[in-house]
Chain A
Amino acid sequence: MRFIYDRIKYGKESVKDPLYANENSYGRIEVKDSCSGCGKCSRECPVGAIKIETGKARIDGKSCIYCGKCIDACSQEAISNSHEYRIADLELAGDDLRKKIYKKFNRSLVLRSVDTGSCNACMLELSAMSNNYYSLSRYGIDFSASPRHADGIVVTGPVAINMKEALIKTYEAMAEPKIVIAVGACAHDGGIFKESYGVVNMLSEIFPVDLTIPGCPPSPQALIYGLLKLLDRV
Chain B
Amino acid sequence: MKIDQLREKLDNLKYSTNIKNRNELYVYVPKGEAVDVASMLYTAHKLNFAAEFCQQDIEGGGFLISILFISRKHNYYVVIRYRTEDSIISIQDLVYQSHLFEREISDLYGLEIAGGKDTRNLVKHEAWERGVYPLRKDFAYGTKIKDNNETDRYEFKGLAGEGGYQIAVGPVHAGIIEPGHFRFSAIGESIENLEIRLMYKHRGIEKMMENVDANKLSLIFERVSGESTAAYSEGYAHLVESLNGYQTPEDIKALRVLLLELERAYNFLEDVAGICVDIGFSYPAKKFSYLSELVHQLCERVTGSRFLRNSIIPCGNNVEYKNVNSVDIMDTMGAIMDRFNKIAKVTLATVSFLDRVENTGIIRNDKAVKLCMTGVAGRASGIIYDVRNSFSYELYPKMKKPVLTETLGGVFERYKLKLEEIRNAFDYIKGAIEFIDGRTVPKERNDIALKEGLEAIVSVETVKGDLIIYGQTGRDNRFERIYMKTPSFANWRGLTYAVMGEIVPDFPLCNKSLNMSYSENDR
Contacts and interface: CB of A to CB of B under 8 A. Distances in A.
Contact of B208 (A26, A193, A217): A193
Contacts of B199: 162
Contacts of A131: 286, 289-290, 292-293
Interface string A178-191: 00000000000000
Which one of A119, A120, A165, A166 has the highest number of Cβ atoms from chain B below 10 Å of its Cβ? Answer: A119
A3 B346 contact: yes
A117 B208 CA distance: 15
A101 to B, nearest CB: 21
Contacts of B445: 72
B178 to A, nearest CB: 5
Contacts of A69: 216, 219, 310
Nearest to A114: B172
Contact of B141 (A126, A195, A216): A195
Contacts of B127: 161-162, 164-165
Contacts of A68: 304, 310
Interface in B420-452: 445
Given A113-B175, A165-B127, A166-B172, A197 B200 contact: no
Contacts of B301: 24
Interface stretch (B20-28, B56-64, B225-233): B225-233
Contact of A192 (B223, B227, B310): B223
A216 B293 CA distance: 17
B110 to A, nearest CB: 14
Interface string A146-174: 11000000000110111111100010000
Given A162-B199, A166-B172, A197-B204, A219 B178 contact: no
A200 interface: yes
A6 interface: yes
A128 interface: yes
A133 B208 contact: no
B227 A115 contact: no
Contacts of B201: 115-118, 157, 160, 162-163
A118 B519 contact: yes
Contacts of A200: 144-147
B226 A124 contact: yes
B519 A120 contact: yes
B261 interface: no
- Most chain B beta carbons < 10 A, residue from A131, A145, A146, A216: A131
A161 B146 CA distance: 8
Contacts of A133: 290, 293-294
A33 B520 CA distance: 42
Nearest to A165: B127
B290 A197 contact: no
Given A120-B517, A132-B286, A157-B201, A192 B220 contact: yes
A127 interface: yes
Interface size class of B (residues with CB under 8 A): 35 or more
A140 to B, nearest CB: 18
A28 B284 CA distance: 36
Contacts of A162: 125, 127, 199-202
Given A120-B227, A121-B227, A145-B175, A13 B290 contact: yes
Contacts of B179: 114-116, 163, 166
A133 B229 CA distance: 23
Contacts of B310: 67-69
A123 interface: yes
Nearest to A163: B200
A216 B174 CA distance: 24
A122 B216 contact: no
B261 to A, nearest CB: 18
A119 B519 CA distance: 6
B219 A65 contact: yes
B270 interface: yes
Contacts of A113: 175-177
B346 A195 contact: no
B300 A25 contact: yes
Nearest to A167: B172
A24 B208 CA distance: 31
Contacts of B229: 121
A195 B208 CA distance: 7
Interface in B133-148: 134, 139, 141-147
B346 A2 contact: yes
A225 to B, nearest CB: 15
Given A67-B309, A115-B178, A217-B307, A124 B270 contact: yes
A121 B202 contact: no
B150 to A, nearest CB: 12
A217 B216 CA distance: 18
A113 to B, nearest CB: 5
A198 B203 contact: yes
Contact of A161 (B175, B202, B224, B346): B202
A26 B305 contact: yes
B492 interface: no
A208 interface: no
B178 A160 contact: no
B271 to A, nearest CB: 12
A163 B306 contact: no
A185 to B, nearest CB: 10
B293 A161 contact: no
A216 to B, nearest CB: 8
B365 to A, nearest CB: 30
B296 interface: yes
A162 B305 CA distance: 30
Given A3-B346, A131-B293, A197-B145, A146 B174 contact: yes
Pick from B147, B178, B309 the residue with the most CB of A within 10 Å: B178
Q: Which 10 A-B pairs have the closest CB atoms?
A: A121-B226, A145-B174, A119-B226, A119-B223, A198-B203, A198-B204, A162-B125, A197-B204, A117-B201, A131-B289
11 contacts: A3-B284, A3-B346, A65-B219, A120-B518, A121-B229, A128-B296, A132-B290, A164-B127, A165-B127, A193-B205, A198-B202
Interface of A: 2-3, 6-7, 10, 13, 22, 24-26, 46, 65, 67-69, 72, 81, 112-128, 131-134, 143, 145-147, 157-158, 160-166, 170, 192-193, 195-200, 216-217, 219
Given A160-B202, A217-B226, 16 more contacts: A6-B287, A26-B305, A67-B219, A69-B216, A124-B227, A128-B293, A131-B290, A132-B286, A161-B202, A162-B127, A196-B203, A197-B144, A197-B145, A198-B134, A199-B203, A219-B306
